[in-house]
Structure 1
Amino acid sequence: MSLLRLALVFLLITLSTVLHVLPLLLVALLKLVLPLPRLQRACNPLLTGIAESWIGFNNRLWDWFTDTRLVVTGETALQRDGHYLVLANHQSWVDILVLQKLFNRRIPLLRFFLKRQLFWVPLLGVAWWALDFPFMGRYTPKQIARNPALAGRDIEATRRACEKFRAIPVAIMNFVEGTRFTAGKHARQASPYRHLLKPKSGGVAFVLDAMGQGLHAILDVTIVYPAGVPSLPDLMAGRIPEVRVHLRQHPIPAELAQGDYQHDRAFRARFQQWMNVLWQQKDADFEALLEAPMVDHAAG
């Protein structure tokens, strides 16, 4: 029965993806070949609406085919036309579906920074491109040491993306740890946090600098899976009993909204200290979510 449900959900997601990506690409092509400012502005809400419709259908599949409970604490007032930087811990590809279920049509469409290789994912890669998702190189320290020019490419890609986002409501998503959490990575880092990897502050600093006063708040999301970190097939097969999320909204400190993170050591130290304080609170939130008693589904 689980395999049959898995196959059915996968088929429905595939059909929905095709039906949504085709009109998305048509609108994106129109925006590309007719670069009139008024037309481009008109295309943006169409592109966003198609993407939100696709996410909305995926959210309905979550409700129809799984008993997974999404338990949210720390709810805060959200703006559909706001300008947010969304920060979250990262454990599984399921994190993205959790964030989309939590925020779809409650805040602007989440835009993720993606590895450049993901452009070649069938259908989704070109859809992300059409929606102006920024693609990053994610170069290793060894690659940068061999070719120092690579260090500036991701910074420039961030700036180009943020320039596009200035004109529209936006929610820029950043998994600050830079990779999915595993016990092995945690040990290799000697992370000072119980449940998190060390935060990488550079990407956050570059977004805040590039957006200037264009962002009005930070949404800090902590995601916990009490039954263990799941995979996407676990969600599709209904094997996740509960997902717990804690949401905090932080103002953006004026003294950190703009600064030269790359070259100003004092600014970089202040920014990293601020991120470390956020991460200490997130670690405490994670622990509290993990220790809370499991919800009795039958009672609901």
Structure 2
Amino acid sequence: MLNFLPSAITGSLSFLLYIINTLFWLVPILVFSLCKALVPWALWQKFFSYLLDQMASNWVLLNTFNQKLFTKTKMNVTGLEKLKMKDWYLVISNHQSWVDILVLQRILHGQIPFLKFFLKKELIYVPFLGLAWWALDFPFMKRYSQPFLKKNPHLKGKDIETTKKACEKFKHKPVSVMNFIEGTRFTNQKHQKQNSPFNRLLKPKAGGIGFVLQAMKGNLSKVVNVTIYYPEGIPTFFDFLSGKVKQVNIAIETQDIDDSLKGDYVNDRAYKIQFQKWVNQLWLDKDKKMLQLEEQAKKEM
């Protein structure tokens, strides 16, 4: 509605609305998170978990209103019809920009349970937001590299224990656990440095979701595989706020988590190799999907 304004003004006003919306919901989330933490009764904590998720869902809803108010970004999405709110999902996606998070929240809102992003453990110390993420049951992960474990063998297995503990609270109500398995945002420089075998993707890291599936012990029922393509090139956050992103093409594919995807990623070498092959094939297929979305965008332009 306000997309007739100059892009700099549009972006600035939109950013201000994001801040107001975030602060508006941050305060009650922090207050109710303290209520949740102070009383260790299971029923009490479950009630506040639902309440906090609803607040976060309303935050996403208002962010979407913000986007529609200031921009004309068209979301072309396929595959939503197979999703439902009362299920347990592992959501994975390619990662190109911070805009990906806004896109995922917008298209999946009301389709699946509120997205819980895996975060580095250090982010829990971010002022206010760290506590809010903790209150919303975002899982914090601590990963140790193989060289580090060789020097500190007593810490072997601690990372999977941390993941198990983070996932324990997801077993009692439907959840969507989100992981960008490339581990970082795509850039041409990173692509070249990795010598990635994929045309439009970085190499996937199977360990993170392998740990999640192991920690959840069969509670997750489906993989939601999201492919995001920006026809006009990878945007910055401010590009998106300013209305410079006219279109985003998104393909969603859903796959059951069968017995072949369940196992001991830490100790079963045969399963680990099989799982890594599955992830690699998933990424080969995603690379082809990116090409299909690109060709589709060219036909529409």
TM-score tier after normalising by the smaller chain length? over 0.9
Alignment pair present for 1:214 and 2:219: yes
Structure 2 counterpart of 1:202: 207
Deviation of 1:213 after TM superposition, in Å, equals: 2.0
The counterpart of 1:189, out of the listed 191, 194, 199, is 194
The counterpart of 2:271, out of the listed 267, 271, 284, is 267
Distance 2:251 2:156 in 1: 34
Runs of 4+ residues deviating >6 angstroms: none
Distance 1:193 1:296 in 2: 25
Alignment pair present for 1:25 and 2:27: no
TM-score (norm 1): 0.92
Deviation of 1:184 after TM superposition, in Å, equals: 1.7
CA contact (8 A) 2:93 2:181 kept: yes
CA contact (8 A) 2:80 2:111 kept: no
Deviation of 1:13 after TM superposition, in Å, equals: 1.2
When residues 3 and 142 of structure 1 are mapped into structure 2, their CA distance, relative to the original with a 3 A threshold, is farther
Distance 1:191 1:255 in 2: 26
The counterpart of 2:249, out of the listed 233, 244, 247, is 244
TM-score (norm 2): 0.92
Deviation of 1:270 after TM superposition, in Å, equals: 0.8
- Cα-to-partner distance string for 1:94-137 (whole Å, 9 max, x where unaligned): 11000000111211010011123333444322211111111223
When residues 233 and 32 of structure 1 are mapped into structure 2, their CA distance, relative to the original with a 3 A threshold, is same
Distance 1:248 1:123 in 2: 35
CA contact (8 A) 2:116 2:178 kept: yes
Structure 1 alignment gaps of length 5 or more = none
Percent identity over paired residues: 45
Structure 2 alignment gaps of length 5 or more = 1-5
Distance 1:295 1:23 in 2: 47
Structure 2 counterpart of 1:164: 169
The counterpart of 1:276, out of the listed 280, 284, 298, is 280
The counterpart of 1:64, out of the listed 41, 63, 69, is 69
My pick for the range that moved more, 8-17 or 169-178, is 8-17
CA contact (8 A) 2:228 2:248 kept: yes
Distance 1:47 1:255 in 2: 35
SS at match of 2:9: helix
Matches within 5 A, 1:1-300: 1-139=6-144, 143-149=148-154, 152-257=157-262, 259-294=263-298
Distance 2:97 2:56 in 1: 22
RMSD of the alignment, in Å?
A: 1.9
What code does the residue aligned with 2:239 have?
Answer: D
What code does the residue aligned with 1:77 have?
Answer: K
